[in-house]
Amino acid sequence: MDNKDNDNQNGSFAVPDAGKRKYLSGSLKKESEDSDVKKSPVRRYLHTRTLQKDKSVVLETQLIDVNRVRDKGSAAPVTEEEVLIKVKGTGSSGNEQQKPGQLGGINNPVAEEADSGSALSQKAVQTLENIPRPEIHPELTEQAITEIREAGKTGSYTLLEPVAKGAESILYKAKAGSWTFCVKAIRNRWDGVLGNSKTRNNQEKLQDVSYSTKIRHLRNEYDVARALFNVQEEMPVVKVLYLRKVTRFGLELGYDLLMEYIQGHDLSDRNILKKLSVEDKIRLMYQAIQAVNYLHKRKLIHLDIKPSNFMLTRTGKVRLIDFGISVFCGFKGRSITGTTGYLSPEQVAKETLTEATDIFALGVTFAIFFGGKPLLQNQEELLQRSVRRDARFHLESGDVSAIADLPELSDKPQIAEIIRNCSILKRENRIQNCQNLLMQLHQAAKTYGLILE
């Protein structure tokens, strides 16, 4: 891909036709049948091999030095505003083992709704708890974390069965001693010959991403997670424990990233969202913002915010996962990094990335919570220079929101307006950071009798 665009040599941008803007949600307007303008085929001027090469650099980023992350995190001043906003109910492990009597609504009669805060209502928690599970795994203790890390060093753990498939890796349930955890595995072509029977044929099902890119993202995730890890406090993010190089007969077969096994569902599961009330979805919003704020306070941006990267545990807690393409605030990449449907104008234009970049994707994510859809973004079109030029125009002059429809918030217009303000195309006019977003959501929810803390 070109590192620089030559489309703006005259110093000005042409206003794109309404039907060609790539960020507005909903159906695009059709051009007039009498129009003399003919649509040109996508990327006709590039050779097929060139287009394929361009595709291969999408979702790439540079590595993060974990020591720099720690230095920046320790040096970041904590404002009085940050102290006032209490982070409640977002960090406990998704592996908590509840006794029947601990859940209101099962053995003890309690009110259906939570008294206050961002914790889900008892009715919602009971719904999550009643979803059939083959088994319940105990919460990882400090001893468990130590033992799993030792197992990672020696390779003395067993992969059980695949539990999820991502774009670049397969997630397996694994076991070391009496402890169950999760392994994110990537493999190269040698694994197809010499690999474990559990992994040997699974890698072919993944997207065509180079092995070197997969390694870069996995190492990046490990470095970021190490910088975020704090055994002394509850964390609203997944706990990553160890990165192991897998070899056999001296040949490298791939890498395993060992992490906690979160029992629950990701928030792209519409069957789960349908079971929750609007009030509980607002509580989910609040917890999700707190989880992203956990990164932002350490000068990191996630860069891949979407419903599937938020896990909802069986006890109603939201946990943020997948730091494979996370970067420092202020990073300027050479490629488009993120997931289509959630990309901000600055990501498409390959401009400097800030906290407001994650805010944009949060707005799209929240719109989906309340019946909306991802943005209309096509990967091949996003690689066109004309689309990047339009993105720069939107970034400087787009005063409209990328979010249109929020069907389930018709009776809560203040909440809907906050979500739209998250995804305003012009970055300066967006809600700028999680602290501001938390305060606005807190105030708006209060007008509807919902207290968030």
pLDDT category, 32, cuts 50, 70, 90? Answer: very low
* CA 403 centroid distance within chain: 18
Average pLDDT taken over every residue of the chain: 79
Provide the pLDDT for residue 128: 82
Q: What are the structure tokens assigned to 261, written together? A: 């096994």
Note the pLDDT of residue 84.
37
pLDDT of residue 63: 52
Q: At what angle do helices 434-447 and 355-369 cross, to 10 degrees?
A: 30
Stretch 82-97: mean pLDDT: 36
- Determine the Cα–Cα distance for residues 134 and 101; give it in Å rounded to an integer: 20
What per-residue confidence (pLDDT) applies to 96? Answer: 36
For 63, other C-beta atoms within 10 Å of its C-beta total 12
Q: What is residue 146's three-state secondary structure?
A: helix
Residues 6+ apart with CB under 8 A from 440: 418, 421, 431
Q: Worst-scoring range by mean pLDDT, 89-98, 140-149, 303-312, 372-381? A: 89-98
Q: Are 181 and 221 in contact (CB under 8 A)?
A: no
pLDDT at 365: 98
Q: How far apart are the first and last CA of the chain?
A: 46
Return d(Cα 161, Cα 322) in angstroms, integer: 20
For residue 43, is pLDDT > 90? no
Task: Determine contact, residues 240/181, Cβ cutoff 8 Å.
Answer: no
> Around Cβ 192, how many Cβ atoms within 10 Å?
15
Residue 310 pairs in a beta bridge with: 320
| Residue 92, pLDDT score | 37
CB 317 within 8 A of CB 90: yes
Q: For residues 18 and 384, what is the distance between their CA atoms, to the nearest angstrom?
A: 17
- Identify the CA nearest to 218 among candidates 313, 325, 311, 135: 325
Task: Specify the pLDDT at position 218.
Answer: 97
Is the domain defined by 142-259 classed in CATH 3.30.565.10?
no
Mean pLDDT over 130-158 rounds to 88
What value does the mean pLDDT take over residues 24-52?
A: 39
Structure tokens at 312: 């909802």
Residues facing 401 on adjacent strands: 424
pLDDT at 27: 37
Q: Bridge-partner residues for 256, per DSSP? A: 185, 244
What pLDDT does 209 receive? 84
Q: Which tens digit of pLDDT belongs to each residue from 269-283?
A: 999 999 999 999 999
Indicate the domain borders of the chain: 66-90+263-447, 142-259
**What is the pLDDT averaged over residues 27-41?**
39
Mean pLDDT within 391-396: 92
**pLDDT winner (highest mean) among 67-71, 231-235, 286-290:** 286-290
| Separation between Cα atoms, residue 110 and residue 27, nearest integer Å | 45
Angle, CA 328 vertex, CA 372 and CA 244 arms, to 5°: 95
* Per-residue pLDDT tens digits for 426-438: 999 999 999 999 9
**When comparing pLDDT for 349 and 2, which is higher?**
349
pLDDT score of 408 more than 70: yes
pLDDT of 331 over the 70 cut: yes
Predicted local confidence at residue 394, as pLDDT: 92
Give the pLDDT band of residue 52 (cuts 50, 70, 90): very low
- State the Cα angle at 307 between 387 and 187, rounded to 5°: 85
Tell me the longest C-alpha to C-alpha distance in the chain: 72
> Mean pLDDT across the stretch 38-45?
36
Percent of the chain with pLDDT over 70: 73
DSSP for 289-316, written as a single string: HHHHHHHHTTTEE-S---GGGEEEETTS
As given in the structure block, the two tokens for residue 175 are 């076991």
Contact 191, 199 (CB under 8 A): yes
pLDDT confidence of residue 41: 38
Sole residue written with tokens 């999408």: 58
**Cα–Cα dist 419/431, whole Å:** 9
Tokens of 143: 């001893």
- Whether 116 has a pLDDT exceeding 70, the answer reads no
Give the tens place of pLDDT for each residue, 239-274. Answer: 999 999 999 999 999 999 999 999 889 999 999 999
At residue 51 the predicted structure's pLDDT band, cuts being 50, 70 and 90, is very low
Q: Per-residue pLDDT for 98 more than 50?
A: no
- Asked whether the beta carbons of 192 and 200 are under 8 A apart, the reply is yes
Pairing assessment for the beta strands 318-320 and 310-313 based on DSSP bridges: antiparallel
Work out the pLDDT band at 45, boundaries 50, 70, 90. very low
CB–CB of 438/85 below 8 Å? yes
pLDDT per residue as tens digits for the range 153-198: 999 999 999 998 888 899 999 999 999 999 999 999 899 889 888 8
- Neighbour-count burial for 307-346, b at 16+ CB within 10 Å, e otherwise: bbbbbbbbbbbbbbbbbbbbbbbebebebbbbbbbbbbbb
- Per-residue pLDDT, averaged over 395-422, amounts to 94
Q: In this model, does residue 397 exceed pLDDT 70?
A: yes
In the predicted model, is pLDDT for residue 91 greater than 50?
no
pLDDT above 90 as % of the chain: 56
Token pair recorded at residue 309 = 């990267």
Look up tokens 């590039």; give the residue.
46
Summarised one tens digit per residue, pLDDT across range 355-381 is 999 999 999 999 999 999 999 998 888
pLDDT value, residue 65: 56
Whether the Cβ atoms of residue 381 and residue 22 lie closer than 8 Å to each other: yes
Output the DSSP codes for 402-420.
S----GGGTT-HHHHHHHH
Which one, of 255, 267, 361, lies nearest residue 318 by Cα? 267
Instruction: Give the count of alpha carbons within 13 A of 340, CB side only.
Output: 12
Q: How many beta carbons lie within 10 A of that of residue 372, not counting itself?
A: 23
pLDDT at 393: 93
pLDDT of residue 64: 58
Consecutive H or E run containing 137:
none
**Ranges 90-99, 105-114, 193-202, 305-314, most confident:** 305-314
Q: Give the CATH fold of the 66-90+263-447 domain.
A: Transferase(Phosphotransferase); domain 1 (1.10.510)
Q: What is the mean pLDDT of residues 388-392?
A: 92
